Structure 1
Amino acid sequence: MTSSQSAPAIVVRALSQKVSTLDGTLSILDGVNLEILQGQSVAIIGSSGAGKSTLLSLLAGLDRASEGEIWLAGEPLHQLDEEQRAALRGRSVGFIFQSFMLVDSLTALENVMLPLELSGGDDPHKQASQLLERVGLSQRLDHFPNQLSGGEQQRVAIARAFASKPQILFADEPTGNLDHQNSETVEELLFSLNRELGTTLVLVTHDLELAKRCQRQVRMHAGQLEE
């Protein structure tokens, strides 16, 4: 599936994840293979408990697989220690979660400035302000998360995720906590920023309409992946 125009952003080979339970070993993922090209948008769909979020967590380097290889942004994630994986995430990866995951004690502006300050970006205040304006929140810069609606909080989360211009963006049920109107707003932002910045977008969703907006859909079923 590799093309001459686009190199793989993610390559997965024979990925398995097993966990020990009181009843023995539970296989969550079983020999998953996947290749995602730079700039592609891919939806991972499937029923609850199929292993979608587990796969996303492994791809992002938040957890370590039992077996197999993951190449993320050209680096062998499976060979890196925790410190190296955290550094790779900081350089190349952005996240959007269903529960927003904003820092309650920081304003919208400060939440978006945070990754820019950590990465030593130029003029974090200016960049964060521009991003919040881009997502329609220029009037909400000094508001704290508890002063914002769910849709506004997710837009802050999107601005924060794109702040460091990540090569790869992972989104776990990004519209799961939103009503229809806010879901549409968030989806529009996600895909327009994805196109503008050439970011690879990998999202887990139960929303088939959202999944259809991606260039590819892959289905998790009983720990296996089906295109």
Structure 2
Amino acid sequence: MPESNTTLAIRVQGLEQKVPTLDGELQILQGVDLDVKSGESIAVTGPSGAGKSTLLSLLAGLDMASSGEIWLAGEPLHQMDEEQRANLRGRKVGFIFQSFMLVESLTALENVMLPMELAGAEDARTQAENMLQRVGLSHRLDHFPNQLSGGEQQRVAIARAFVTRPDILFADEPTGNLDQANSARVEDLLFQLNQEHHTTLVLVTHDLKLAERCVTRVQMVSGRLEAL
């Protein structure tokens, strides 16, 4: 990434994504350019099928684009193989999903410890306990996901995402499966932790009220990004 762009968490230039179908090639994303500053919160909105989740997957290095450049935390994601992208995700990125994505056979504490253990942290338990206390779940450490409510599971997922202090957090419809009260609590946590840790937050959501809490808002329309 050029020196003038080092304050950017993400830079996207000319991003295209095409997939083969029985009827020929389908273009999902076309000509996407995007700059996201370090510590910024940005919401990506738009109708179903517009390409929001595809964009998020490409930005996080979970998939490769057909063409274009993606600089993530100053590193050229578009030039990396899968092993290199996985290494970058492990060092710089956190994820929160609509479906929580917790490991059912692990307790809340063990779920939050998992990324710390994978990173070789010696104080994984202490950091996981502290983060679960931070999200109001110190009394649920030994509970398994099926013993937790939806709101509690998403708070465990938030604790797991933030425990490694990622530079960039990607959240895909993080309140989509929650009722209004739990949605509000999860939203507050996301933005509190975003500000406290100076974490760049990239949020995909259908919820316009949630989107309005972000510093920047863009909309996906037929595979293109438009400012709001």
Cα deviation, residue 6, structure 1:
7.5
Instruction: Report the Cα distance in structure 2 between the residues aligned to 1:127 and 1:163, rounded to whole angstroms.
Output: 7
Question: SS of 2:140's equivalent?
Answer: coil
Instruction: Report the Cα distance in structure 1 between the residues aligned to 2:224 and 2:133, rounded to whole angstroms.
Output: 41
2:21 is matched with: 21
TM-score, structure 2 length as denominator?
0.97
Code of the residue aligned with 2:51 in structure 1: it is G
Code of the residue aligned with 1:96 in structure 2: it is I
TM-score, structure 1 length as denominator?
0.97
1:117 is matched with: 117
Instruction: Report the Cα distance in structure 1 between the residues aligned to 2:167 and 2:120, rounded to whole angstroms.
Output: 17
The answer as to whether partners of 1:14 and 1:69 remain within 8 angstroms in 2 is yes
Code of the residue aligned with 1:137 in structure 2: it is L
User: What is the count of residue pairs matched by the alignment?
Assistant: 225
Question: SS of 1:190's equivalent?
Answer: helix
Question: SS of 1:129's equivalent?
Answer: helix
Cα deviation, residue 5, structure 1:
11
Instruction: Report the Cα distance in structure 2 between the residues aligned to 1:76 and 1:127, rounded to whole angstroms.
Output: 30
Structure 2 stretches lacking a partner, 5+ long: none
1:83 is matched with: 83
1:92 is matched with: 92
The answer as to whether partners of 1:6 and 1:37 remain within 8 angstroms in 2 is no
Question: SS of 2:178's equivalent?
Answer: coil
Code of the residue aligned with 1:202 in structure 2: it is V
1:164 is matched with: 164
2:48 is matched with: 48
C-alpha RMSD over aligned residues = 1.3
**Identity percentage of aligned residues:** 72
1:154 is matched with: 154
Moved over 3 A (4+): none
1:203 and 2:203 aligned: yes
Code of the residue aligned with 2:11 in structure 1: it is V
Alignment deviations for residues 31-75 of structure 1 (CA, whole Å, 9 cap, x no partner): 100000000000000000000000000000000000100000010
Cα deviation, residue 122, structure 1:
3.4
Cα deviation, residue 121, structure 1:
1.8
Instruction: Report the Cα distance in structure 2 between the residues aligned to 1:6 and 1:59, rounded to whole angstroms.
Output: 17
